[in-house]
A and B are shown apart, each in its own frame.
Chain A
């Protein structure tokens, strides 16, 4: 599965970069979304992927034992997902306002700092 995930990560990155290079404001945001998914998966898979139980301590146990998924990348990715959401929400509001103010959704035509 590790190789498969690597391919998925690459594909997400490629799709993200391709969308970022488009001229539409909308695709710019989609590109950012794809790219952050890709990075999230890199972090998630950094510990090596194997089918395992969630890192939750059994009710009769004191410490985590047995075949458990690595909790640390999960914690990092959880933060990253939420931050990514904040970024996208803000970018969406921004392009919305940009379009309202300039009447353009083509990045190439956004050349002035003043409207």
Chain B
């Protein structure tokens, strides 16, 4: 077993999920969960090896010429993320089993979900920058499919597209950043980057690299001002939201920043960018969250806030900050997945997710209430839950900062107070508030086992982690912190640090949060009167989006008007102009035109053709036009005869005759010529066509005096009999020297024949039908 097998195994399950759905029916989610569970077990088995400081590497050549390999590198950070993804992923699958029970596309849903899981595992374990980018894009695409799963709804499709465009935009930037990074470091391997003493900060490309990679990470991790897609991604079914918000997708950006921390950090730009965007996102997320009443929206905004905290911690970059970042990340993954699943269950069993309506479900849904309560306590940061530890460490980080300690600490406390109030609002209020069963569209009842087993286990894990941080969590997190920091960081987590300042801040947070929670009904009253939908980034995005659409419509209408006439005018005037320009650069006009050297027969033929052309252009009769076309063709056959090309003449006469016959067949089914164009148009067209003709005449006259390269015709004359045993050189060229051309020609004719046949056959079958 290795990393690639893990990913391929899950991809295989993704491929056959719809078939398994047919086989196992409403137990498929349980069966499929075996995949991530096995991966989880395998990754867990690696823990001792990786704790001891070795990384698991694996590499398969992909484009060896370009240094691109499908290579994997599992160190502490990858392992932690992979455990979260596969662990939470298996519960999500089980949850989806209940949540989407009976949905006609449930099998497909499993496919998307497994594809997404596999791509996430790929991101966190990939060693090669290009491979990482490929997995990165795969998550964008599979998340598009997941968010837009309810594709009958236009709003759902819009939001899915928005997530795809925003993260796809970041993805393109990321690719450019990776390429620059690869050029700067002359290596595509992340492990080489990490283990060499290369630091991008001295390189001239550093500003570009940093900007582009941050664009990628910030869009994926929904940092302000790209945050708007994340709350919109709520259009997805609950299991998707739970997965996207806890261990995957949005964590991919944070992961990337953590992964590249040893390579890119240590500069003022890094610190400034990450802390400032992180701080803004923290505040924007938590304040917006306060204004929401939709259960899932509240949770979505708290995710934003947490992502801000994580990015800010990475920006601060002290050992303590990195440690807090990892602790917070794990804590958040555990409680956020639980809360989202519980919110989904509430929605599923009651039909609403508005917290002003949903309330007091503790008796109807005891297990869900238990899980949600545990998770909410962890999120709110009550001791001894794991969330308490995360918050404690954030405060500690803030306190020991050298600069701006007060500002960051202040913002962190405000954010945490808001987060706590929101945690209670989303996890406690729906279950422990006043009973309100009558207002619900459905009679509430407990969700099936599949929908509460995951939340309960995850919530209990949060409690367990909080109770035994030293013995359980430290071995898990310290290799990750080591990987992020780039050097070993010794520590043991403990929940009790004695009476100190962080504890005081925690107490302050608890009181603040409880007060806010107690005031929740008043806040809802106020927010319901506010109209907040005018100046949002979502609207800005829509404006940009619609702008793009109308610009492309406008330019398409100019370039592709659908009018044949306009196309022809554009094509002929462009090519005519280019030809005329090039011709004016050459002088090659013969001093004397050889008009009078021509023989009488030549003159006769030429006048014959010119007369035919005039007739075609002038006539109003279809018959005359057709016969004149035939005359022109025969005239040209005459030219072939005069200048030693009997084969051509024969073919020309044959073809001309056939064309006239074919025209005859069609002509009486079409109406007679009408005078459709005005005289003005005709005049203009005459001038235009005349100019094109004149340019071509000039081209031919000048071309005749040019000898650019020696001709190969002499060679054909020599070889025709000696090599190909044929005396008619033209024929030998056609069927021997250039036989492939002729084969192509025959194929084209055959296709044209089939086309004609299909067109005409349609006519007959129609006739038969009408009979």
A34 to chain B, nearest CB (A): 7
Complex Cα–Cα for A29 and B278 (A): 66
Query: Chain B 215-247, CB within 8 Å of chain A: the 1/0 string?
Result: 000000000000000000000000000000000
Q: Which residues on A sit within 8 Å (CB–CB) of B629?
A: 30, 33-34
Alpha-carbon gap, A100 to B480, bound state (A): 73
Contact assessment for A47 and B711 in the assembled complex, using a CB-CB cutoff below 8 Å: yes
Which of B622, B676, B728 lies at the interface centre, i.e. has the most chain A CB atoms within 10 A of its CB? B676
The verdict on A99 contacting B670 (CB below 8 Å), with A3-B593, A12-B632, A23-B677 known, is yes
Contact B752 A87 (CB under 8 A): yes
Interface size class of B (residues with CB under 8 A): 35 or more
List residues of chain B with CB within 8 A of the CB of A81. 648, 651-652, 655
Instruction: Give Cα distance in the complex from A12 to B88, angstroms.
Output: 74
What's the minimum C-beta distance from B314 to chain A, rounded to whole angstroms? 53
Residues of A close to B646: CB separation below 8 A:
54
Segment touching A, from B64-72, B193-201, B376-384, B562-570: B562-570
On chain A, the residues within 8 Å of B711 by CB distance are 47, 70, 72
B670 engages A26 (CB within 8 Å): yes
B681 and chain A: residue at smallest CB distance: A21
Please tell me if the beta carbons of A63 and B721 are within 8 angstroms of each other in the complex: yes
Q: Report B427-457 residues with CB < 8 Å from chain A CB.
A: none
Docked Cα-Cα span, A9 to B692, in Å, equals 11
In the complex, what distance in Å separates the CA atom of A9 from the CA atom of B674? 28
Residues of A contacting B648 in the complex (Cβ-Cβ under 8 angstroms): 44, 74, 77-78, 81
Q: Provide the residues of chain B in CB contact with A9, threshold 8 Å.
A: 696-697, 700
CB < 8 Å neighbour of B701 from A3, A70, A96, A111: A3
Nearest A residue to B693 by beta-carbon distance?
A: A14
Q: Hey, which chain B residues are within 8 Å of A71, CB to CB? A: 713, 716-717, 720, 729-730, 733
Residues in A whose Cβ lies below 8 Å from that of B184: none
Q: Are B663 and A41 in contact (CB under 8 A)?
A: no
The contact string, 1 if C-beta is below 8 Å from chain A, for chain B 9-42, is: 0000000000000000000000000000000000
Give the distance in Å from the alpha carbon of A7 to the alpha carbon of B603 in the complex.
12
In the complex the two chains form, what is the Cα distance from A17 to B469 in whole Å?
A: 84
A45 to B648, alpha carbons, bound, how many Å? 13
Q: Shortest beta-carbon distance, A73 to chain B, in Å?
A: 8
**B689 is an interface residue with CB less than 8 A from chain A:** yes
Interface residues of A in 39-80 (CB under 8 A from B): 40-42, 44-57, 59, 61-65, 68-72, 74-75, 77-79
Provide the residues of chain A in CB contact with B760, threshold 8 Å: 93, 96-97
Chain B: which residue is nearest A66 at the CB level? B717
Shortest CB–CB separation between residue B759 and chain A, in angstroms?
A: 4
- A72 to B712, Cβ gap below 8 A? yes
- Mark out the residues of chain B between 711 and 739 whose CB falls within 8 Å of any chain A CB in the assembled complex: 711-714, 716-718, 720-722, 727-730, 733-734, 738
The reply to whether A34 and B632 contact each other, CB–CB distance below 8 Å, is: yes
Inter-chain CA distance A1–B599, complex, in Å, is 8
Interface flag for B407 (CB, 8 Å): no
CB distance from A100 to the nearest CB of B (A): 7
* B268 contacts partner chain A, Cβ-Cβ < 8 Å: no
Q: Type the 1/0 row for B624-649, where 1 means its CB is closer than 8 Å to any CB of A.
A: 01000100110010011011111110
B759:A96 contact, CB within 8 angstroms: yes
Q: State how many angstroms separate the Cβ of A52 from the closest Cβ of chain B.
A: 4
Interface-located stretch among B171-179, B288-296, B528-536, B740-748: B740-748
Write out the residue numbers on chain B whose beta carbons fall within 8 Å of the beta carbon of A57.
717, 720-721, 727-729
Q: How far is the CA of A72 from the CA of B472 in the complex (A)?
A: 84
Q: Which of A2-40 contact B (CB under 8 A)?
A: 2-30, 33-34, 37-38, 40
Smallest beta-carbon distance A86→chain B, Å: 4
Residue with the highest number of chain B CB atoms closer than 10 Å, among A1, A12, A57, A84: A1
Contact call B636/A17, Cβ cutoff below 8 A = no
Mask: chain B, 77-95; 1 = CB below 8 Å from A; 0 = not: 0000000000000000000
Is B598 close to A, CB under 8 A?
yes
Knowing A30-B625, A93-B756 touch, does A78 contact B644 (C-beta < 8 A)?
Answer: no
Cα distance A64–B655 in the bound complex, in angstroms: 29
Is A26 a contact partner of B667 (Cβ separation < 8 A)? yes
* B594 in the interface (beta carbon within 8 A): yes
A11 partner residues in chain B, CB cutoff 8 A: 609-610, 613, 693
Residues of chain A with a CB closer than 8 A to B590's CB: 3
Do A1 and B594 touch (CB < 8 A)?
A: yes
Q: Residue A75 contacts which of B594, B606, B689, B738 (CB distance < 8 angstroms)?
A: B738
Decide if A63 touches B749 in the complex (CB within 8 Å): no
Q: When chains A and B are docked, how far (Å) is the Cα of A110 from the Cα of B412?
A: 66
Interface pairs (23), CB distance under 8 Å:
A5-B639, A6-B704, A7-B697, A8-B609, A10-B700, A15-B689, A15-B693, A17-B685, A18-B617, A22-B677, A24-B674, A34-B613, A45-B700, A46-B703, A47-B711, A62-B721, A63-B718, A69-B643, A71-B729, A75-B734, A79-B741, A97-B763, A108-B565
> CB within 8 Å of A: which residues of B?
562-565, 568-569, 572, 590, 593-595, 597-599, 602-603, 606, 609-610, 613, 616-617, 622, 625, 629, 632-633, 636, 639-640, 642-648, 651-652, 655, 658-659, 662-663, 666-667, 669-671, 673-674, 676-677, 685-686, 688-690, 692-698, 700-701, 703-704, 711-714, 716-718, 720-722, 727-730, 733-734, 738, 741-742, 745, 748-749, 752-753, 755-756, 759-760, 762-763
- Residues of chain A having any CB pair with chain B under 8 Å: 1-30, 33-34, 37-38, 40-42, 44-57, 59, 61-65, 68-72, 74-75, 77-79, 81-90, 92-97, 99-100, 105-108, 111
